[in-house]
Structure 1
Amino acid sequence: MVARYGGALGQKVNEIAADFNASQSEYEIKPVYKGSYAETMTSAIAAFRAKEQPAIVQVFEVGTATMMGAKQAIYPVYELMEDTKEPFNPDNYLAAVTGYYTTNDGQMLSMPFNSSTPVMYYNKDMFAKAGIESAP
């Protein structure tokens, strides 16, 4: 079971699950919509306490510290990849993303799935006309 998004992002998660399910017969992913980010995390914590937690849950950035602090409730991605002998290179992600999900000793705890990266566009000519030499 995977706690997932609603709307367009939920449709994408459903597609990923369907593709995975069609690719093999040993495991089945059943996406389950659990509400907002906060509701999903609350639901996952309650499920863990009831010993009925999902195999995978998608937690928003604000919940990262909570999940990192719940050492018995999570299976860190670096351990999962080592234990299953799956190749995994955190350097394939933007450093700002991996840094957020990594311990102080460099171990990546969670898998960045759809981290947002803010981008600012500006008109350099308009800035120059306004006397601004570089973007903030």
Structure 2
Amino acid sequence: MHIGTWLQRLANGTPEARQLLEQALVQLWPDALGIFEPFADEETLLAAGILPDASEVLQQQWLSSIAPIITQLNLPVPLERVSRAGVAEDRDRAEVLRSTVPARYGGRQGQHNADFADLWEQMTMVYRLDPQASW
């Protein structure tokens, strides 16, 4: 709800606000997809019930949740709907969303761009003040 509200506010705001939003979406889309990077031993964690769903499933859930907002606001997110056979037993074909640009993977192996360092500093600032504290 929070991101939906901000997307609407920026997309329907001034022309400059919309332009900056569109530029940010195009630039950061591969990074957003990178959150769902598959990782070693994912299958083991799924089989043990530690993970509820595979990275691919989580990505589809996320794409499905944001696609209506993106479509409604006519934002330039590179998504396409494709048919995939055999997704559900009771259907021959199921529609899924797929990005037309590749995800930027590597974060799980510590490969980050320079902007991430600033973000990481902000995200971990309070924890670093007192690592022994219970948050």
Q: TM-score, normalised by structure 1?
A: 0.25
Q: Pick 1 or 2: higher relative contact order, CA cutoff 8 A, min separation 6.
A: 2
Structure-2-length-normalised TM-score: 0.25
Which protein is richer in strand relative to its size? Answer: 2
Larger-Rg structure = 1
Q: Which has the higher helix share?
A: 2
